[in-house]
């Protein structure tokens, strides 16, 4: 694909279905942290949310198997349908929240109080902590995705936007049209979404190579 400037437009790196599966399997669903992290991974890898949109979600944004993204890029709100697996993962995390007594509005939160080092307050040296129920930071999510990717043995440099690209590519391969993908991703211009049409080129090449030979 060539951009309007005449320079080649860099294609986004995506994960295969096998690579995405290997990545999300690194989240231990038997632990509260793993339950939360799995839900965040699926919000990015299956629903196409940006990392900033994931950490900004509130509990009220989850309803009727949809996610309401109020604080998307460019302040554009959108509704993203949840696939059954992601909906189940979010429900599991909501159960963990209730059991832990977390009542804050933010959906994805810290779970336990954690020491963050020393701070000076009023001339005194005191311990600084991150309290349970505070929003998970984008930095944590980026580090978590990178760590899981390395643990899964993926050779690609995996980051949250890789998962968003993966979701868009998956939709196209499943028959979604560009307008639908544009709406799901929250792109204001169809030109932004067109970068994903490389999927069609790859699929066409594979189908052409699979043609039965003529009986010459």
Assigned domain for 73 exists? yes
Domain count, the chain: 1
Contact 185, 164 (CB under 8 A): yes
Assigned domain for 10 exists? no
Q: What would the pLDDT profile of 149-182 be if each residue is shown by its tens digit?
A: 999 999 999 999 999 999 999 998 888 988 999 9
Mean pLDDT of 137-150: 97
Backbone angles phi, psi at 121, to 5 degrees: -125, 120
Contacts 24+ apart (CB under 8 A), 119-126: none
Of 161, 173, 183, 198, which residue is the catalytic one? 161
The one-character DSSP state at 3 is -
Assigned domain for 61 exists? yes
pLDDT confidence bin for 211, thresholds 50/70/90 = confident
Of 36, 46, 50, 97, which residue is the catalytic one? 50
Domain span holding position 155: 17-199
Q: Which of 5-14, 93-102, 115-124, 172-181 has the lowest mean pLDDT?
A: 115-124
* Known catalytic residue at 98: no
Of 9, 60, 65, 73, which residue is the catalytic one? 73
Assigned domain for 60 exists? yes
* Known catalytic residue at 73: yes
Assigned domain for 120 exists? yes
First-last CA distance in the chain: 36
Assigned domain for 57 exists? yes
CATH number for position 138 = 1.10.443.10
Q: How far apart are CA 160 and CA 103, in angstroms?
A: 27
More confident residue, 205 or 67: 67
* Known catalytic residue at 187: yes
* Known catalytic residue at 146: no
* Known catalytic residue at 50: yes
pLDDT confidence bin for 73, thresholds 50/70/90 = low
* Known catalytic residue at 161: yes
Assigned domain for 208 exists? no
pLDDT for the residue 16: 92
Q: Which of 49-53, 84-88, 179-183, 186-190 has the lowest mean pLDDT?
A: 186-190
Assigned domain for 192 exists? yes
């Amino acid at each position: 694909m060539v951009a309007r400037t005449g320079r080649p437009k860099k294609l986004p790196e995506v994960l295969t279905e096998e690579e995405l599966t290997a990545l999300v399997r690194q989240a231990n669903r038997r632990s509260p942290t793993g339950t939360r992290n799995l839900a965040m991974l699926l919000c990015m890898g299956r629903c196409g949310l940006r990392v900033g949109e994931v950490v900004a979600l509130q509990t009220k944004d989850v309803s009727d198997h949809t996610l309401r993204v109020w604080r998307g890029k460019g302040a554009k709100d959108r509704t993203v349908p949840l696939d059954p697996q992601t909906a189940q993962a979010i429900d599991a995390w909501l159960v963990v929240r209730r059991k832990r007594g977390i009542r804050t509005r933010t959906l994805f939160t810290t779970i336990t109080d954690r020491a963050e080092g020393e701070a000076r307050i009023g001339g005194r040296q005191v311990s600084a902590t991150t309290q349970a129920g505070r929003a998970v930071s984008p930095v944590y999510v980026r580090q978590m995705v990178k760590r899981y990717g390395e643990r899964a043995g993926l050779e690609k440099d995996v980051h949250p936007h890789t998962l968003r690209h993966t979701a868009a590519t998956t939709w196209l391969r499943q028959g979604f049209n560009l307008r639908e993908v544009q709406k799901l991703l929250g792109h204001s211009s169809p030109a932004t979404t067109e970068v994903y049409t490389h999927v069609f080129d790859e699929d066409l090449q594979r189908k052409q190579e699979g043609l039965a030979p003529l009986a010459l």
